């Protein structure tokens, strides 16, 4: 189900001129064809239209834009790297909204190594933040497949997860402070650098994960971590998700908090990575499932290879794993992780792909996978399920590729039915239908199902308080 038609009208020609004047003609896009990259997303699933795209260069300009939009009741879609997975960053097909892209606001403001903080503008690309941290021998630990193009504003807007959440938490856990422009243009300076600050309700946490519906994040103070002195990674062949969890417990037991990444994918994932990329299975043969495990820490390079080797030997002796390859060079390290990080991309080449973002308590992932596979077999016997991802966080992308040779449109038309099958199993297991991607426009209709009437009342009340005219990302997150 897609975004409901927004109630707000398109801006008049006069309003458009006023808005353009804020950023200057050079940073405004009026032409529909030139807007293409801002109104469509990477899966071509929610094609939208916009009256205008603006690319402000400062918080003050964002503030001026929102003042005008609020006064004229113009819908505004905040956009960062446009890699979001639930259509939150693209406008509705009505063409009534404007898109505000933060891409020009990409400055690293201040790196404080002793404080372990970095202050950035919201349009900074995630990878640039990682690199700026690296320059002072620190780690910014948010790691996701889209890190070369997603931006901090979008990461905070969605409360992004990724492959190091197991050790470092979601984007929310990595933010100390924010600067946010409110719907009426007022600027909240909450660029807090303190580790401890319990002065009343936490506004920062309300904006994080609000997907552009409560305010536009223009700056952030983020946490840095000491850079681990060593890391070791292995690709492991395994028979099923249960022993994978036993391997996780074993590795955590042997390293304290040293497991930073623990990801799973089934054989079908390996098959399509090999089919559509230059990457090759480094193991001697093929297995029903694969795990990538990374441990980090130690006092010097080389410390962790023997630790991971002994974990894997013990796992092998206990019959938990079938085979393992340890990365012995930086190139191999990158190659193992590429297999996992390119999983999203390669699904596209297999035809229609239905996406899920379920989570259950970690110990119940095997049950989720078993029940999901059984139910799908009944619904679409030839479909190719790809339950993969962040097993260490209990977060499985239970994606489903169309049957080979099937009609893509007919398969994709079953999106709500098939996601419903998996989501209902997750709900039955007290899980979540959106572990890390958010609600956007794709899951808005599910909100009354997964939130109690009290929760809905409080959420709608918050929206009304922060954005009384409903101009911020209309039709996203909450049903209108
Ligand atoms: P956008 O897509 O531009 O926006 C996302 C949402 O945030 C929208 O609702 C938008 O309105 C809002 N928003 C954007 N900027 C602001 C702002 N400045 N202030 C307020 N709201 C704003 N996600 C994960 O969580 N974990 C993963 O492992 C992961 N892997 C991915 C791998 C690939 C290959 C791809 C393509 C995507 C992946 N994603 C993943 C999804 C996506 O990258 C994340 O959701 C990311 O955080 C979105 O950032 P963005 O800059 O692209 O934001
Ligand atoms: C990932 O972990 C993304 O690879 C999933 O969050 C995106 O479902 C997808 O393709
Ligand atoms: Zn993910």
Q: What is the DSSP string of 111-155?
A: EETTTTEEEEETT-BHHHHHHHHHHTTEE-----TTTTT-BHHHH
What mean pLDDT do residues 157-173 have? 98
pTM (two decimals): 0.97
pLDDT at 405: 95
Q: What's the pLDDT score for residue 43?
A: 86
Would you say the CB of residue 119 lies under 6 angstroms from ligand 2? no
Mean pLDDT for the chain? 96
The residue to mutate among 37, 88, 150, 187, having the most atoms of ligand 1 within 8 angstroms of its beta carbon, is 150
Query: For residue 369, is pLDDT > 80?
Result: yes
Domains of the chain: 13-104+461-466 (3.30.43.10), 108-226 (3.30.465.10), 230-344 (3.30.70.2190), 351-430 (3.30.70.2740)
* CA-wise closest residue to 320 among 234, 233, 240, 235: 240
In this predicted structure, the answer to whether residue 4 has a pLDDT above a threshold of 60 is no
Mean pLDDT of 26-44: 95
Question: Average of pLDDT values for 439-465?
Answer: 97
343 lines ligand 2 (CB under 6 A): yes
Residue 319 has pLDDT above 80, yes or no: yes
> Could you tell me which of 273, 429, 413, 410 has the C-alpha nearest to residue 361?
429
Buried b (16+ CB within 10 A) or exposed e, 298-335: beeeeebbebbeebbeebeeeebbbbbbbbeeeeebeb
pLDDT of residue 3: 42
What is the arithmetic mean of pLDDT over 428-448? 97
Evaluate if residue 168 carries a pLDDT over 50.
Answer: yes
Please tell me the predicted confidence (pLDDT) of residue 257: 87
Give residue 2's pLDDT: 39
What pLDDT digit, counting tens, does each position of 268-288 carry? Answer: 999 999 999 999 999 989 999
Number of the ligand 2 atom closest to the C-alpha atom of 161: 6
386 Cβ inside 6 Å of ligand 2: no
**Confidence (pLDDT) at 6:** 53
pLDDT at 5 over 90: no
pLDDT at 303: 95
> Which of 100, 106, 140, 146 to probe ligand 1 with, by most ligand atoms within 8 A of CB?
146
pLDDT band at 1 (very low <50, low <70, confident <90, very high): very low
């Amino acid at each position: 189900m897609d975004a409901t038609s927004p109630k707000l009208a398109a801006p008049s020609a006069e309003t458009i001129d006023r808005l353009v004047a804020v950023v200057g003609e050079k940073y405004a896009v009026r032409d529909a064809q030139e807007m293409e990259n801002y109104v469509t997303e990477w899966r071509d699933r929610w094609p939208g239209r916009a009256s205008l795209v603006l690319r402000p260069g400062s918080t003050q300009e964002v503030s001026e834009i929102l003042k005008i939009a609020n006064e004229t009741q113009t819908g505004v879609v905040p956009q960062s790297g446009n890699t979001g997975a639930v259509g939150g960053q693209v406008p509705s097909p009505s063409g009534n909204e404007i898109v505000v892209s933060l891409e020009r606001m990409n400055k690293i403001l201040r790196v404080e190594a002793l404080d372990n903080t970095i202050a950035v503008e919201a349009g900074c690309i995630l990878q640039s933040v990682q690199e700026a941290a690296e320059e002072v021998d620190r780690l910014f630990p948010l790691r996701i497949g889209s890190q070369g193009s997603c931006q901090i504003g979008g990461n905070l807007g969605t409360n992004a997860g990724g492959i190091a959440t197991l050790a470092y938490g979601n984007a929310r856990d990595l933010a100390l402070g924010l600067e946010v422009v409110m719907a009426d243009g007022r600027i909240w300076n909450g660029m807090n650098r303190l580790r401890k600050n319990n002065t009343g309700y936490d506004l920062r946490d309300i904006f994080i994960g609000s997907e552009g519906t409560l305010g536009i994040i223009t700056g952030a103070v983020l946490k840095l971590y000491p850079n681990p002195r060593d890391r070791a990674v292995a690709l492991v062949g395994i028979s099923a998700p249960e022993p994978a969890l036993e391997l996780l417990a074993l590795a955590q037991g042997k390293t304290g908090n040293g497991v930073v990444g623990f990801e799973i994918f089934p054989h079908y994932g390996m098959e399509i990575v090999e089919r559509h990329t230059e990457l090759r299975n480094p193991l001697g043969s093929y297995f029903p499932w694969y795990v990538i495990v990374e441990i980090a820490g130690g006092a010097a390079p080389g410390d962790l290879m023997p630790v991971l080797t002994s974990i894997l030997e013990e796992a092998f002796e206990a019959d938990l794993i079938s085979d393992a390859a340890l990365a012995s060079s930086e190139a191999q390290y990158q190659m193992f992780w590429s297999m996992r990080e390119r999983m999203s991309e390669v699904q596209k080449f297999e035809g229609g792909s239905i996406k899920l973002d379920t989570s259950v308590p970690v110990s119940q992932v095997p049950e989720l996978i078993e029940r999901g596979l059984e139910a799908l077999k009944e619904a679409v016997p030839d479909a190719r399920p790809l339950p993969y991802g962040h097993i260490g966080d209990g977060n499985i992308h239970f994606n489903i590729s169309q049957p080979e040779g099937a009609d893509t449109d007919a398969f994709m038309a079953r999106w709500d039915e098939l996601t419903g099958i998996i989501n209902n199993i997750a709900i039955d297991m007290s899980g979540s239908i959106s572990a890390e991607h958010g609600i956007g426009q794709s899951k808005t209709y599910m909100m009354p199902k997964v939130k109690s009437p009290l929760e809905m009342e409080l959420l709608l009340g918050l929206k009304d308080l922060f954005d009384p005219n409903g101009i911020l990302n209309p039709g996203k997150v909450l049903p209108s």
